[in-house]
Amino acid sequence: MSKDSLPGLTLCNNAALRRAARKLGKFYDDVVEPSGLKATQQGLLYQIHMGDEPAMGAIATSLIMDLSALGHTLKPLIRDGYVETFADPEDRRVKRVRLTPKGLDKIEEAMKLWQIAQQRFEDVVGKDKAEDLRAALDEIAALDFDLPPATP
Interatomic CA distance for residues 147 and 149, integer angstroms: 6
pTM recorded for the entire structure: 0.84
In terms of C-beta density within 10 A (0-12 exposed, 13-18 middle, 19 or more buried), how is residue 145 classed?
exposed
Q: Where are the domains of the chain?
A: 19-141
> From first to last of its 152 residues, what are the pLDDT tens digits of the chain?
556 666 666 678 888 899 999 999 999 999 999 999 999 999 999 999 999 999 999 999 999 999 999 999 999 999 999 999 999 999 999 999 999 999 999 999 999 999 999 999 999 999 999 999 999 999 999 988 887 777 66
Architecture of domain 19-141: Orthogonal Bundle (1.10)
Interatomic CA distance for residues 47 and 56, integer angstroms: 11
* Core vs surface per residue 117-135: b (16+ CB within 10 A) or e: beeebeeeeeeeeeeeeee
